[in-house]
Structure 1
Amino acid sequence: MSETTVNRRVLLAWLGSWGAPMLAQAQAPLLAKNAPAGIDPAPYLVSEKLDGVRALWDGATLRFRSGRAVAAPAWFLAALPQTPLDGELWMGRRRFDELSGAVRRAEPVDAEWRRIHYRVFELPAGEGTFAQRADKLKALASDIVVPVEQQRFTSNAALRAKLKQVVDAGGEGLMLHRADAPLASGRSDLLLKLKPLADAEAVVVGHEAGKGRFKGQLGALELQTPEGVRFKLGTGLSDAQRRDPPPIGATVTYRYRDVTPAGKPRFASFVRVADQF
């Protein structure tokens, strides 16, 4: 499945909740590419890369990237503004598994949702540059809606120092969004992610049986990237994931050091099932 097809499906799923008056302004989610190591951060606004679940609010319904509605408590939804928002549901650093379990329940548990905030970073129906839209988000802050802090850095050294600070504190990395960017959708150079190791997403297209101590379990996932490159991934999987592996068709996130001339990732390691739900 091509990335264009995936983006189109996400856009169609998302547009279904907007209503005719908003169709002309609606945008599919913007997705990040990996930042080059020596990037000049001056043209960007920089924020922490949150270990959360992407959520899109259209003024009436909160949805995952897949377009499926999030079963959030009524009080949580009532606290959101009528303004469409793009952001992440977040519990804190290193709490993705706990968060994922909470937001995927068909019946929300209030005690779990009291620990969740909606960290927002985009106005999907807004106007102007990203810097202008990010500034407008500040007026929407509440106990539940928390605009993501954006910072400027003038040198790569300062950016790297910030990356180290975030990672040492348990964060994933940084996001760099062109300050002058208009609204955009799909995977774009306008939005970059900077992490100690690069990461990417791929679709599960097969399961390879395990051998030796993994006999009777999963040995490796066969994955296909949006560019059509296929490779096997057996590192980073837990025993539970080997017994009950991500199904064919699922999108997973993996980390890697670099790529071969054929486009296959080197030293790839499984991270988790992607947060599309």
Structure 2
Amino acid sequence: MGPRDRPGRRAALRLLSVLALPGAWLQQATSARAAGKPPLMLANTYREGVPLADFWVSEKYDGIRAYWDGRRLLTRGGEVIQAPGWFVHGWPQRAMDGELWRGRGQFEQTVSTVRRQVPDEQGWRGVSFMVFDLPQESGTFDERLPALQALVGAISQAWVVAVRQRKVASHQALQGLLAEVEKQGGEGLVLHRGDSLYNAGRNDDLLKFKSMEDADARVVAYLAGKGKYEGMVGALTVETVDGLRFNIGSGLTDAQRRAPPPLGSIVTYRYRGLHASGKPRFAVLLRQRRD
């Protein structure tokens, strides 16, 4: 009897396909962890018509968001990152906001290195801390930029990098820059309003621009596979923070269909626009979140 013919496995899949988790999942999780989460500035989505002259533009790095609080590196969720001592040696007692990044297309390798409780010294040799803001610095972003560049220069470590910021004159030029970055394997662009203070939370002073959007949702059920996927998972049923439920079948590897992301885990999916119902169009699983 092969794996696809095991009655117990089919029964388990049928059971899991109707399991559901509470609708207020993210609010509860957020409340439980809020006290330890760093006060990060989060991006809204860019839309044509934004006055580009007011913004600085940089590449959006596909890594692990990291916050240096003056003595520790923290993830976006508030977990302490166990970086080697040499990696953070001599860093100032000033907050820095950035991304731990190994390079374009190296997200999984970055996660594998950064999440280890015992630092992988060799793995960390390939990681850079891409610094894009100084959260506790007074003044506007225009004023914080020179201070950031001076601070990174004073640290004088090859793996601590001040993110390049540039000005873009038009929406067409911005689209051209996005196409160039994505062609080279980059994730997208970030726009930062020059006259903005560092305001924690999601706001229009920080915008992201990608050809396809990403979002997170929680896995609440599995749908059993059919045909060649019989005995495996055919799709994930996920729920957004707003309580919207939909299925994601595209993007699942055969390994993930055999051992899918656990119920309750957070996954990132990619999509292109929304249906009238509010559900994402062409949703594709990108990865399970582990940060």
Q: Of 136, 139, 150, which aligns to 1:128?
A: 139
Return the alpha-carbon distance in structure 2 between the equivalents of residues 135 and 248 of structure 1.
46
Once the two structures are superposed, residues 11-60 of structure 1 have per-residue CA deviations (whole angstroms, 9 ceiling, x without a partner) of 41136xxxxxxxxxxxx212222212454422211100101111111111
Q: Provide the residue aligned with 2:247 in structure 1.
A: 232
- Report whether the alignment pairs 1:261 with 2:276: yes
Relative to structure 1, is the Cα distance of residues 233 and 169 closer, same or farther in structure 2, using a 3 angstrom cutoff?
same
- CA RMSD in angstroms comes to 1.9
- Report whether the alignment pairs 1:151 with 2:166: yes
Return the alpha-carbon distance in structure 1 between the equivalents of residues 113 and 167 of structure 2.
34
Q: Where in structure 1 are there 5+ consecutive unaligned residues?
A: 16-27
Return the alpha-carbon distance in structure 2 between the equivalents of residues 180 and 274 of structure 1.
33
How far off its partner does 1:199 sit? 1.7
Q: Provide the residue aligned with 1:12 in structure 2.
A: 35
Return the alpha-carbon distance in structure 2 between the equivalents of residues 11 and 84 of structure 1.
19
Once the two structures are superposed, residues 51-107 of structure 1 have per-residue CA deviations (whole angstroms, 9 ceiling, x without a partner) of 111111111111111211111111112243221111110111111111111111121
Q: Of 255, 272, 275, which aligns to 2:287?
A: 272
Q: Provide the residue aligned with 2:12 in structure 1.
A: none
- Which structure shows the bigger proportion of residues in helix conformation? 2
Relative to structure 1, is the Cα distance of residues 270 and 38 closer, same or farther in structure 2, using a 3 angstrom cutoff?
farther
Once the two structures are superposed, residues 179-235 of structure 1 have per-residue CA deviations (whole angstroms, 9 ceiling, x without a partner) of 111121222222111111122222222222222222222221111122221111111
Q: Provide the residue aligned with 1:64 in structure 2.
A: 75
- Computing the radius of gyration from Cα coordinates, the structure with the larger value is 2
Return the alpha-carbon distance in structure 2 between the equivalents of residues 5 and 255 of structure 1.
24
Q: Provide the residue aligned with 1:36 in structure 2.
A: 47
Return the alpha-carbon distance in structure 2 between the equivalents of residues 79 and 272 of structure 1.
34
Once the two structures are superposed, residues 108-156 of structure 1 have per-residue CA deviations (whole angstroms, 9 ceiling, x without a partner) of 1111101111001121211111222222110122322211111111211
Q: Where in structure 2 are there 5+ consecutive unaligned residues?
A: 1-23
Identity %: 44
Moved over 3 A (4+): 1-11, 37-40
Return the alpha-carbon distance in structure 2 between the equivalents of residues 252 and 81 of structure 1.
34
Relative to structure 1, is the Cα distance of residues 9 and 36 closer, same or farther in structure 2, using a 3 angstrom cutoff?
farther
Maintained 8 Å contact 1:200/1:254: yes
Relative to structure 1, is the Cα distance of residues 39 and 241 closer, same or farther in structure 2, using a 3 angstrom cutoff?
farther
Secondary structure at the counterpart of residue 42 of structure 1: helix
Relative to structure 1, is the Cα distance of residues 79 and 204 closer, same or farther in structure 2, using a 3 angstrom cutoff?
farther
- Report whether the alignment pairs 1:211 with 2:223: no
Q: Of 196, 199, 219, which aligns to 1:184?
A: 199
Return the alpha-carbon distance in structure 1 between the equivalents of residues 32 and 56 of structure 2.
29
Q: Of 120, 130, 149, which aligns to 1:138?
A: 149
**Corresponding letter in the other structure for 1:138:** Q
Number of equivalenced pairs: 264
Secondary structure at the counterpart of residue 12 of structure 1: helix
